[in-house]
Amino acid sequence: MSKVLVSDPIDQAGIDILSQVATVDVKTTLKPDELVSIIGEYDALMIRSGTRVTKEIIEAGTNLKIIGRAGVGVDNVDVPVATRRGIVVVNSPEGNTIAAAEHTLAMMLSLSRHIPDANASVKRGEWDRKTFVGAEVYKKTLGIVGLGKIGSHVANVAKAMGMKLLAYDPFISTERAEQIGCQLVDMDVLVQQADYITLHIPKTPETTHLINAAMLAKMKPTTRIINCARGGIIDEAALATAIKEGQIAGAALDVFESEPLAESTLRDIGKDIILTPHLGASTTEAQVNVAIDVAEQIRDVLLGLPARSAVNIPGLGPDVLEELRPYMLLAETLGKLVGQLAGGRVELLNIRLQGEIANNKSQPLVVAALKGLLHQALRERVNYVNASIEAKERGIRVIETRDAAVRDYAGSLHLEAVGNLGTHCVTGALLGDGEIRLTDMDGFPINVPPSQHMLFTLHRDMPGIIGKLGSLLGSFNVNIASMQVGRKIVRGDAVMALSLDDPLPDGILTEITKVPGIRDAYTVTL
């Protein structure tokens, strides 16, 4: 039975899900060296923000298949090292969406009406209404940096409060922004016009200190900034100076460059700043949601299924996975088939998306095809995470093309493998019920559902050859489940595709090629 280590506190609902498929150990006080010493026993590791999963921990986790972070970010996981080791890293990108968005809105309103300071004043026995005159958000301009799930929800609520919405996000279209109710603008325009600025972007080399002294200098003196995303996006020293000198009206921060927040000039500013200890996801509902989300993904991976929110599988988000799952299975099946037909070293894989498939994202299909192609050589060591890396290290070039023209099937996938032993190609399609069909092999039309054990022959289309092959297989006690011949012209070259109940015994392939008219034969295990 699989073993899962939970090294940070998570909701019991997540542990209950993991217990369906694994033995679960909850050890939340481990030091890094202690974690290194025991991680090799486990198939999965579930964490929150407390555990740092370093290169040393990952390399010691010789049985690890998945690392699950019950939250949005994976800053505390060495994702590149995990990827190279073929370990899936998942998070919960939507589990705390509402909690983070609501905290952002609460911070904005609290900052506008001086609620924390007014609360403290009354508790001290004071009644000082004049000091706490606030500002309305109605008809003010909110600048949203990042229109993902959280930013979009903030936009929806802010629009209902009567705010004008500007947005900066280089990865979405103008049409999508308009659907949300935002005017898409450049960052410079946003910071110059916004009365409130809220950040909803990851911390990357490009976004580190995005809000710096130069940006702050462009803002209006009435501008207020809210950051419930990631620490380090704002230059905290520059922000403190801007608030103290009246360059901007204030800020509300839930995240910081270094956490817990130690000595900082931010603490000394006074009533124009609100600081909370990373509470964006700290609701009862969010903690349950992220625990369930990540636990379900760990369960699925341990059962051999794909994760829906893997951060290190290229181009594969939960929405894409749901849409492309049948096509990914098709791509992987064709990859296994063409890899075994090629036999030797594959140097080039041509992938052509045909018909309606050509309108889909191609990267997950390419990864799935490579996983299938490398399966014969690497078996369980290749997966969606490391397939591209393994292919690159083996010198396999990938060429991707699209052809939207619809032929015999609404959508199909064509793979061609070029190797040291020759070139082979296969085409496959999905029927209406999702059933896979092999529709072409090496340019010969066929219509065959794939099976676990298959035999393909290249032969001369001539009387008696099917009977001779059937008799030969029968003499070795091999039972044929189905058989089909594909040909271009009568009595020309043809292929035969046979589904077998059992694998071929050793030596029979050589005997098959001795049958008059059969030029070559290939066995495939799917």
Same domain, 137 and 255: yes
Q: With H, G, I as helix, E, B as strand and everything else as coil, classify residue 473.
A: helix
pLDDT (tens digit per residue) in 298-341: 999 999 887 888 888 766 666 666 778 889 999 999 999 999 99
56 is catalytic: no
Catalytic residue among 209, 278, 325, 460: 278
Whether 307 maps to a domain, the answer reads: no
492 band by pLDDT with thresholds 50, 70 and 90: very high
- Same domain membership, residue 112 and residue 196: yes
Distance CA 230, CA 473 (A): 65
Whether 212 is covered by a domain: the verdict is: yes
Q: Which of 259, 285, 393, 435 is catalytic?
A: 259
* The predicted structure's pLDDT at residue 305: 83
* Given the residues 69, 114, 224, 230, the one annotated as active site: 230
Distance CA 39, CA 98 (A): 34
Task: Out of 450, 478, 495, pick the residue that ends a domain.
Answer: 450
**Residue 40 carries which DSSP code?**
G
**Max Cα–Cα distance, the chain, nearest Å:** 105
Does 260 sit behind a cis peptide bond, omega within 30 degrees of 0 on the bond before it? Answer: yes
To the question of pTM greater than 0.85 for the whole model, the response is no
- On whether both 41 and 141 belong to a single domain, the answer is no
Domain boundary among 400, 417, 450: 450
Q: What percent of the chain has pLDDT over 90?
A: 76
Domain that includes residue 514, residue range: 451-526
Verify that 174 and 253 share a domain, yes or no.
yes
Whether residue 367 lies inside any domain: the answer is yes
**Residue 215 and residue 179: Cα distance in Å, rounded?**
28
DSSP string, 295-314: HHHHHHHHTTPPPTTBTTST
Q: Is residue 84 part of a domain?
A: yes
In this predicted structure, the answer to whether residue 351 has a pLDDT above a threshold of 80 is yes
Name beta bridge partners: 224: 196, 250
440 occurs within a structural domain: yes
Say if residue 238 is in the same domain as residue 113: yes
The answer to the question of residue 189 being in a domain is yes
- 381: annotated active-site residue: no
CATH number at residue 123: 3.40.50.720
Q: At 379, list the tokens.
A: 């078996």
Cα separation, 89 vs 76, in Å, equals 11
Confidence of residue 55 (pLDDT cuts 50, 70, 90): very high
User: Looking at the structure, do residues 442 and 346 belong to the same domain, yes or no?
Assistant: yes
* Cβ 78 vs Cβ 59: under 8 Å: no
The CATH number for 334's domain is: 3.30.1330.90
| Band (390; pLDDT cuts 50, 70, 90) | confident
Per-residue confidence (pLDDT) for residue 429, from 0 to 100: 94
User: Would you say residue 380 has pLDDT above 70?
Assistant: no
Q: Is residue 280 part of a domain?
A: no
Q: Are residues 79 and 151 in the same domain?
A: no
Residues 290 and 367 grouped into a single domain: no
457 and 497 assigned to the same domain: yes
| pLDDT for the residue 319 | 63
299 tagged catalytic:
no
The reply to whether 237 falls in a domain is yes
Residues 459 and 333 in one domain: no
- Total structural domains within the chain: 4
Based on the fold, state whether residues 321 and 367 are members of the same structural domain: yes
Question: Among 302, 337, 364, where does a domain finish?
Answer: 302
CATH number of the domain bearing residue 488:
3.30.70.260
Q: Based on the domain organization, do 412 and 355 belong to the same domain?
A: yes
Q: What is the DSSP string of 362-418?
A: -HHHHHHHHHHHHHHHHGGG--TTTHHHHHHHTT-EEEEEEE----SSSEEEEEEEE
